[in-house]
Amino acid sequence: MKKIIILSLFVLFTSLQTISCRSQNTEQTISILPIKKQVAIDCSQNKLLTIKQATLSLAIKKQKLTQFRISCPAYKKMAHAALGELYFQNNNYKQAIKSFRKMATKEKAKTPLQYQLKKAQYALSLQKLNLKPTKAEQLFLKVRNYFYPKKLPVNIQSLYDQYQILKSERIISSEELMSAFRSMRSYKNLGIRPKINITIQFDFDKSGIKSESQQQINELYNALSSEYFKNLNFELIGHTDSKGSKQYNQTLSEKRAKAVKKALQQKQGSNIAQHIFTSGKGETELLLPNQSENSANRRVEIKIK
C-alpha cells in the first residue's frame, strides 16, 4: 500500500514538472517572437504618380496599383484610371476599357487635363476594338467641347487623329448616324453644331464616288429618310486634302458634296433632296492638320442645318 502511494506521488510530481517546463518553454518562445509593426501606406495623388512613373514591369505596376486601390478606398477610382492608362500604353485595349469604365468623374476637378487625356484614350480603345462607336464619338465630342475654342493639346490631338483615321476606314450604320444626330444638340460650346464624318471614298483629284462607298450611301439614306429626321434640314460639306491650289480644291470639295446629294436623290422613292443642302470647305478644315495629304482628309461631312 505504501509503495502504491509513493508511486502515485512520483507520477503526479513528474507530470507537474513537465507541465511547468512546457509552460516555461512556451513563455520563452512567446517572448522571442518579434512584434510586427503596421506599415503606414501613403494614400495620396503623389504616391499614385510615383507608381505610374516608376521603371517597373507591367505586372509589378499592376500589382502595386491594385494594392494601392485596396488600401486607399478614397483613391479607388483614380487607381482604376491609372490602370487604364497603363494598359492603353501597352496596347491592351480590352483591359484598358474595363479600367476606364470605373474611373471617377471627380478626377475631372482634381486633374482636368489628365482626365480629358484618359477620356481620349478610352474613346480610342473603343475604336481600336470597334466597340460602341457612338460612345467613342461622344467621348471625343466632350473632349473637344472642353477645350473649345482652343486647340487640342498635342498628345490628345495625336489620339484624335488616330481615331479619325480608324473611323474613316469603316462604314457608319444608319443606327449610329441616327444616334449621333440626336446627340448633336448637346455640344453648343463648339460654336457650331457638331459634324459627322461620313466614309465616302473619293480618288485623288476626283469627285466621283467610289463603288465601295455605296453601302455608306445606303446607310446614310436610311438614316435621313427615317420618320424622326425626314423633316429636318441637313447640310453636306465636302472637303479635300492639301494637294493643288486653294481655289481648285474649293471647287472640288463642292462637287464632292453635290455628288453625295445626287447619289441620295437617285435612290428609289427618295424625296429627301429638298431637305439637303451642299457646300464645300476645300482644304480649309483638314481632318488631320498634321497629315495634310492623308486620304482621310478627302471626305464629306453632314450636320443638321
Task: Name the domain count of the chain.
Answer: 1
Element (H, E) at 198: strand 196-198
Asked whether residue 262 is domain-assigned, the answer is: yes
Asked whether residue 229 is domain-assigned, the answer is: yes
Asked whether residue 26 is domain-assigned, the answer is: no
Asked whether residue 68 is domain-assigned, the answer is: no
Which CATH number belongs to the domain containing residue 299 in this structure? 3.30.1330.60
Asked whether residue 159 is domain-assigned, the answer is: no
Domain coverage including residue 231: 186-305
Which portions of the chain are predicted below pLDDT 50? 2, 7, 9, 11-12, 16, 18-33, 35-38, 188
What pLDDT is recorded for position 194?
64
Q: Please report where in the chains the cell 486633374 appears, as a residue.
A: 111
What pLDDT is recorded for position 163?
92
Asked whether residue 80 is domain-assigned, the answer is: no
Contacts of 7 (CB under 8 A, 6+ apart): none
Asked whether residue 83 is domain-assigned, the answer is: no
Asked whether residue 25 is domain-assigned, the answer is: no
pTM (2 d.p.): 0.66
Three state DSSP letters for 246-305? HHHHHHHHHHHHHHHHHHHHCCCCCCCHHHEEEEECCCCCCCCCCCCCCHHHCCEEEEEC
Strand duo 196-198 + 300-304: pairing: antiparallel
Task: Mark 62-91 as b/e (b = at least 16 C-beta within 10 Å).
Answer: bebbeebbeebeebebbbbbbbbbbbbeee
Count of residues making up the chain: 305
The Cα–Cα gap between 268 and 278 comes to 21
What pLDDT is recorded for position 4?
53
What pLDDT is recorded for position 29?
41
Report yes or no: 146 and 182 within 8 Å, Cβ to Cβ: no
The Cα–Cα gap between 22 and 25 comes to 5
